[in-house]
Amino acid sequence: MKRQIITQIQAVVALLLLVAACSDDATDTWQDAGNGSPLTIQVCSDGFSSSDGCPTRAADIGYTTVFQDGDRLGIVAEQVDGSKQNLCATYNGATQAWEGIYYDSKTTYLSAYFPYQEGLTNQLNNISDADGVLSALKTLMPPLADQGSLAAYRASDLLAGTCTLHTEGGKSLKVALSHAYSLLLLRAGTEYTTPDGSFAYRTPLRDVQVNVDDALACTPFASAEGYRLIVDKSGSPSVAWFYTLPDGKTYKVAGNASLTEGTYHLYNNIISGGNRALAVGDYYYSDGSIYPGDASNPPSEGCIGVVFWVGDKAFQDDPLLQIDHPGCTHGLVAALQDAGKTLWSSDYEDITNNWLKNQGSTYGITTLKETEKMQGYANTKALEGYNASERATGGNSGKTVLPIGLIRSYAGAYPAPASSSGWYFPSVKELKFMCWGQNTNGQSTDGKKKLDEQFGKLTGASSLQSDYSWSSTELGSYRAWLVNFTSGRVSDYRKGSSSYWVRAVLAF
């Protein structure tokens, strides 16, 4: 198994804010700056093990456990009088640091666990060692029966392990985590391959349920690797999966699993559908599955967008996308709903000349003013970095790029699969062809009409606005590019003069 080692450098200002935000369990005598220097935390997490190497969590990449911005780690600590405390460290995705705990020479750091849960201090006070902590955590944090959401799945995937304190060269805590439970995984559905053999995708499943040892049905989480269910089981439990294909046919896949803590068992029921090319108008789902766009009644459950571009144009245009997501060569997806309506920014700055040019190769691009490339992913990452630098340096907050916040909020509400780029703020060229259509050579609204037709077949989707939409491409200090979805006209407008719509896209 691969591991991810994350080394952190603590930021004192952020730590002071996070101490208050974590929980009522954290007290001043245990987690306050007055006790000493910030405690640097290094986390090493094993993945689930099996012969075919399944990744650990829904947001994982390859075989590596990946923590996300805002994740919270629990540290069970003990003072000299034997009293316990449930401390909280929060992961800062921008700095890759676990923040919120200060070193205390009177404290022994017994155990660590993830995800952090408030209100455990009283239950932990009668425990004398790390083994007892693990046993108590498993009693207090059993897997949920309904793991259908990302939050519920992650809350069920208890990781626990040891803490080792190092005091040489600064105070650091090394944490080694392992999965406390087991994982059941289903890969099923009709699988199609593109004619050139470069891409295989499955149709989405509906009404997926799991029975374990004849217990009540549990709801699994749909990830790009398959349907996942965390279970507190060992030995050979009896497992039965039930699911329905979009054509209405219901299937059952059953058998005994062979489970120990930290392992997974795969059930595979893939049906070959032969060759089929991807097409504009195909429906894209939260587990990375795709349903043909010419269907009259596509499943709304789990659908997060509609394909508006087929091919690797964005991948070829965007150097940062190539680095971060080398598998996203197949097309672009428009979100089912707008992220919101806002100014581009409330104050003015030439971000390209005043900030981006000083960032070297960090974002793979040298300008946000490129109008002839589909580089929205790199634009978004650069603008996220710019916004972060504005906040960190106490700059004029009016210069922050407001659509970035809308995109981030949308991504939190409608998670994209790990096999995709994640949602981003489209460049003007990506936005233009969302409106025009892939095979249109000039100004048009054919793309909008096609997308609106597809959105209309789904519950919960909304048509593209017949109005202007912002892009992530700037013209200069005062103006940024936008597209009029009524006429297809591409133009620029003052960043702080009017609020316009923002629609997220992703590459897959």
Q: pLDDT per residue over 434-458, tens digit each?
A: 999 998 888 999 999 999 999 999 9
Say if residue 400's pLDDT is above 50.
yes
Point out the least confidently predicted range of 6-15, 86-95, 324-333: 6-15
Judged against a pLDDT cut of 80, whether residue 32 lies above it is answered with: no
pLDDT of 65: 64
Lookup result for tokens 């210069």: 399
Name the one residue in this structure whose structure tokens are 């075919």: 52
- Compute the Cα dihedral for 179, 205, 214, 144 and give only its sign: positive
Instruction: Read off the pLDDT of each residue in 124-150 and give the average, rounded to a whole number.
Output: 85
Residue 14 CB partners (closer than 8 Å, separation 6+): 92, 95, 99
Q: Which of residues 212 and 121 earns the better pLDDT score?
A: 212
Range of 216-220, 267-271, 499-503 with top mean pLDDT: 499-503
Paired sense of beta strands 172-179 and 182-193, if any: unpaired
- Chain centre to alpha carbon of residue 393: 27
Q: Encode burial over 394-414: b for 16+ CB neighbours within 10 A, e otherwise.
A: ebeeebbbbbbbbbbebbeeb
Percent above pLDDT 90 for the chain:
67
**Strand bridging mode 303-310 / 500-502:** unpaired
Cα 78 to Cα 44, 111, 118, 127, 439: the distances in Å are 22, 10, 17, 10, 65
How many residues are listed for the chain in this entry?
508
Identify which has the larger pLDDT, 450 or 67: 450
24-38, 223-237, 256-270, 359-373: least confident range: 24-38
| Backbone dihedral angles phi then psi of residue 311, each to the nearest 5 degrees | 125, 180
Pairing relationship of beta strands 108-114 and 159-166 according to DSSP bridges: antiparallel
**CA-based max dimension of the chain:** 76
| Average pLDDT rounded to a whole number, residues 20-27 | 40
Residue 28's pLDDT band, with cuts at 50, 70 and 90, is very low
Residue 149 backbone dihedrals phi, psi, to 5 degrees: -100, 160
**What does the pLDDT average to over 356-379?**
97
Return the number of other C-beta atoms located less than 10 Å from residue 5's C-beta: 9
pLDDT-derived band at 1, boundaries 50, 70, 90: very low
Alpha carbon distance, N-terminus to C-terminus of the chain? 26
- Higher-confidence position of 202 and 396: 202
The residue written with tokens 């996220």 in the block is: 384
Which two structure tokens, joined as six digits, stand for 180?
């406390």
Residues 226, 299: Cα–Cα separation, whole Å: 17
- pLDDT at position 4: 33
Residue with tokens 């626990």: 160
Q: At 346, which amino acid appears?
A: S
Please provide residue 325's backbone torsions phi and psi, each rounded to the nearest 5 degrees: -140, 70
User: Rounded distance, CA 202 to CA 267, Å?
Assistant: 15
d(Cα 86, Cα 84) in Å, to the nearest integer? 7
Q: Tell me the range of 95-109, 246-260, 328-342 where mean pLDDT is highest.
A: 328-342
**pTM exceeding the 0.95 threshold for the entire prediction:** no
Question: Residue 167 pLDDT > 90, yes or no?
Answer: no
Assess whether pLDDT exceeds 90 at residue 34. Answer: no
Flag whether pLDDT at 347 surpasses 90.
yes
Residue 396: the pLDDT is: 61
Q: How many CB atoms lie within 10 A of CB 266?
A: 16
Element (H, E) at 501: strand 500-502
Three-state SS for 214? Answer: coil
Which one-letter amino acid corresponds to residue 229? L
- CA distance linking residue 233 with residue 76, whole number of Å: 25
DSSP-derived 3-state class of residue 367: coil
Residue with the bigger pLDDT between 126 and 338: it is: 338
Q: What is the mean pLDDT of residues 174-178?
A: 93
How is residue 153 annotated by DSSP?
H
99 and 22 Cβ atoms separated by less than 8 Å: no
Average pLDDT, rounded, for the chain = 87
pLDDT band at residue 33 using 50, 70 and 90 as cut-offs: very low
88 compared with 29, residue with greater pLDDT: 88
Specify the range with the lowest mean pLDDT, choosing from 127-131, 303-307, 398-402, 459-463: 127-131
**pLDDT of amino acid 454:** 98
Label residue 225 by pLDDT band (50, 70, 90): confident
pLDDT at 215 over 60: yes
Percentage, residues of the chain above pLDDT 70 = 88
> Distance of alpha carbon 344 from its chain centroid, rounded?
24
Beta carbons of 251 and 245 less than 8 angstroms apart: yes
- Region 406-420: what's the mean pLDDT? 93
Q: Is the peptide bond before 417 cis (omega within 30 degrees of 0)?
A: no
Q: What CA–CA distance (Å, rounded) separates 72 from 153?
A: 15
Task: Answer yes or no: are the C-beta atoms of 15 and 99 closer than 8 Å.
Answer: yes
Backbone angles phi, psi at 251, to 5 degrees: -125, 155
Give the residue-averaged pLDDT of 49-70. 56
The position carrying tokens 């399944």 is 54
